[in-house]
A = this chain, B = another copy of it.
C-alpha cells in the first residue's frame, strides 16, 4: 500500500519560492502571525498527524466501512480516536476566528492542511471538510446569536456540520427541492423532508451535528426563488450551549458506494425538526452558494490528493518490481530484470502523475490566496470586497474543480496501471484510490456543471468573453518578463500559442452561441479541459522560472537536484501532456450538429 509522506519540500517551494506567501501574509490583517517559522511548524505538525494517524486508517476504513444500526452510524475502527487527536490539535479552527476558539490563521493554511489530510485519508477528511462548509455559511449569514451558539462548538470541533441540499428527485436542479418549513409562531420553523447523499450526515465522532438545510416556506415561489436556508441541529442546544433535546433528525439509510466507504453518506429525514432560518427568506440558494467557490477548492483538492497518493504508491513499486529489460539495453545487468522505472512507458506514467500533482497543487495554492482575501472580507463584513474576491476566485474554481478532478481520476488509474495486475488487487491499496476518487467529478457539481459555470456564466455572461482575454494577458505579461531568458524560451513560445488558441476558441464559441445556445453546452466540457491544460501550463512555467532563478542565484532553500527535477517535470508537461489540449481544440472547432441532430428515439435504434 502507498505509505503517505507529505511532500513538504514541494509545498515549501511553492509557498516560499514561487507564490510568495510570506509577502502575501505580510499584507493580510490576519497574516501577522503566519510568519515563515509558524507556517513551517504548522506544516510539520500537520504532516505528522496525517502520516502517523490518518494514513494508517486509509485501507482499514475502506474495508470496514460505516455501519448503520438502529439509526446510529458507526465509523470504522480508529476513526473516533483519530478525530479526537484532530480536535485536540485545534486543527478545525486553524483558519477561523480566535473569538470562536480558532487560531485565526489565513484561510490558505486551511487549504494546505486539507490537502495533506485529504491525501492521507480522503474519507476521513470529508467529515471536518463538510463541517467547514457549515461553519462558513453560519459565519457569513448567521445572526449574532446563531454565530455565538454554533461557531464555538463547530470551531472547536466538538460539534460538526453538514450541508443538506440534495433530495431524491433533484441534485443539480435545486429548484425542485420540496422539503417543507412551517413557521411555529415563535420565530422558529418546523422542517419536514428527506435529504439524500448527506456526507457526514450522521456518525459517532462528536456529540452533535448541525445541519444546514434547504427547504421551502408555505406559499414560497416555485423554483429556485422560493427556497430558504435553515440551521437544524440534531440535538437542540441548551441555554448554556450544551447538547439538549433530540430534534427528530433521523438517519434512515447509508449508501453502499463505490468508494469513500469510511465516509458516511446518509439519508436524513427531518420529521418536524425545529429549524432556525439562516439568512433572508427565499434567499436560501444564494446563501448556500456564497461560499461555493471556497468549498470547491476543497473538492478540487481531491484530484491533487489522489494523484499525489497514487504517484507515491506507483513510484515505490516501480523502483522495486523487476520485469524485462529496457529497450535501450540492460540497466541492471546483475539483477534478474530491470526495475520497471527504467521502462519508458512507466516513466511516462510516473511523470504524468508527478506533473499533474505538482502543477495542480500550484494552481490550488495560488487560488487559495484569493480565498484568504475573501474570508477576511467576510469577517470584516465588507460585502463589496467579498464579492470582488469571490468573482476573481470564481474564474478559477470551475477549472480547478472540473479539470483537476477529471485528470486526477485519470492519474489514479495510471497508478494502478504501473502496478500491472497487482494494481487490481485490494491489498495494494491502489484500486481504492481509483474508487475513492471516482466521486470527485460527480459531487459538488459534476464536470458538466463546472464547465457550464466556466464557459456560460463566468466567461460568456459575467465577463462578456473578457475573462479569457484578461487571463491570457496575465500569462503574456509573465512571458514578456521572461522573454530574454533563453532557457525559458520554449515555454514562452508554447504559452504564446496556447493563449492565442484559447482566445480564438472563446471567440469562436461566443459567435456560434449568438445563433445557437447549444453551442455553449456542447463545447463546455472540451473548453473546460482545454482551459485546465492551458492554466496548468502557466503554473508549470512559473515553477520552472522560479527553479531556474534559484539555480542561477544559488540562494534557494532546496538542492540543485530538486530544482532540476522541477524543470524536467515542467519540460515533460509541455512536451507530453499539454498536447492533449489539441484534442479539445479539435472537438471545439468541429460542428455541434453531430452532437444535437439525432432524435432521442434513434439512440435506441440498435
Contact = CB atoms under 8 A, between A and B. Distances in A.
B572 A448 contact: no
Interface string A116-151: 000000000000000000000000000000000000
Nearest to A604: B315
A146 to B, nearest CB: 29
Contacts of A438: 413, 416, 424, 431, 434
A310 B9 CA distance: 43
A319 B600 contact: yes
Interface string A310-339: 000001000100111011110000001101
A592 interface: yes
A576 B565 contact: no
A540 B170 CA distance: 38
A421 B255 CA distance: 11
A591 interface: yes
A10 B606 contact: yes
A539 B560 CA distance: 52
B568 A590 contact: no
Interface string A329-371: 1000000110101111111101100100010000000000000
Q: What does DSSP make chain A's interface, helix, strand, loop or mixed?
A: helix
A341 to B, nearest CB: 5
Interface string A272-288: 00000000000000000
B343 A605 contact: no
A319 B600 CA distance: 8
Contact of A326 (B451, B518, B559): B518
A70 interface: no
B448 A424 contact: no
Contact of A424 (B257, B409, B451, B591): B257
Given A456-B327, A568-B598, A606 B9 contact: yes
B587 A435 contact: no
B345 A448 contact: yes
Contact of A442 (B343, B417, B574): B417
A258 B10 CA distance: 32
Contact of A172 (B420, B516, B572): B420
Interface string A156-172: 00000000001000111
Contact of A347 (B256, B346, B350, B595): B595
B324 A172 contact: yes
Interface in A556-596: 559, 561-562, 564-565, 568-569, 571-572, 574-576, 578-587, 590-596
Interface of A: 7, 9-10, 166, 170-173, 175-176, 197, 255-259, 315, 319, 322-324, 326-329, 336-337, 339, 341-348, 350-351, 354, 358, 409, 413, 416-417, 420-421, 423-427, 431, 434-435, 438-439, 441-443, 446-448, 451-452, 456, 516-518, 520-522, 524-525, 559, 561-562, 564-565, 568-569, 571-572, 574-576, 578-587, 590-606
Given A565-B598, A582-B585, 4 more contacts: A171-B421, A345-B525, A416-B438, A575-B593
